[in-house]
Copies of this chain bind each other. A is one copy, B any other.
Amino acid sequence: MTHKTPKKQYHHGNLRQQLLDTAAVLIREDGEPALSMRKLAEKLGVSRMAPYHHFEDKEALLCGVAEAGFERFMHSVMAVATDLNALEVTPYSKDHLCLFVTTYLNFATQHPEYYNLMFGGHLWQSTTITDSLRDAGHAAFRSYVDMIRAWKNADAINPAVDPLRFAQLSWSTLHGMSRLFIDGIYVDEGVLTHLCHTATDSFWAQLHG
């Protein structure tokens, strides 16, 4: 008979998870390029090579962090979708759309340490990107397209709209806005909320033109 859960199964315990969490914290504090495996290991009171038993190399670790980011991201979006009623937002309305837009940008600007890895070129251009990360990314996009298809199936938008095409363009806009704010090219907080509304207007027009 095995123990129910091997709580502390070794010297340190649940390293792997702590590596992911602490890496995210360190990246948030000092930026991704400043993260070093050695400092990360030291922060967890473990020798420099210990992390390599849980992640093949630094990039694999970052892929893991990005994957965790996708989990959080999906959770955020799902949460808003289910809380529509509680928020007194009527489905398929412009407010609904705006809520989605602001949710996306809030995640991006409030969790840049995740967003950068999730949608940055560093990992996606790399030849060693994890299969699971690639899947998570594709799944996220697919669920976005599915969301638009749902609008279409509910006769909430112009039937001539191509969901895939609209998804590609609108995601580009959301992604571009996110990047410009995260990268500090756009700075003003007020501009953000205003831009969210302008973007929503544009999306709404595309969906009903």
Contact = CB atoms under 8 A, between A and B. Distances in A.
Contacts of A165: 194-195, 198
Interface of A: 31, 33, 116, 119-122, 124-125, 137, 165, 168-169, 171-180, 182-186, 191, 194-195, 198-199, 202, 205-206, 209
A173 B184 contact: no
User: Which of A125, A176, A180, A185 has the largest number of chain B CB atoms within 10 A?
Assistant: A176
A169 B200 CA distance: 10
Given A116-B121, A125-B31, A209-B205, A172 B184 contact: no
Given A165-B194, A176-B171, A177-B172, A182 B31 contact: no
Contacts of A202: 169, 202, 206
A178 B180 CA distance: 12
Given A124-B185, A184-B121, A184-B124, A175 B179 contact: yes
A179 B121 contact: yes
Given A124-B183, A124-B185, A205-B206, 13 more contacts: A116-B121, A119-B179, A121-B179, A125-B184, A168-B186, A169-B177, A171-B180, A172-B173, A173-B173, A175-B179, A175-B180, A179-B179, A205-B205
6 contacts: A119-B183, A121-B179, A124-B183, A165-B195, A168-B198, A172-B180
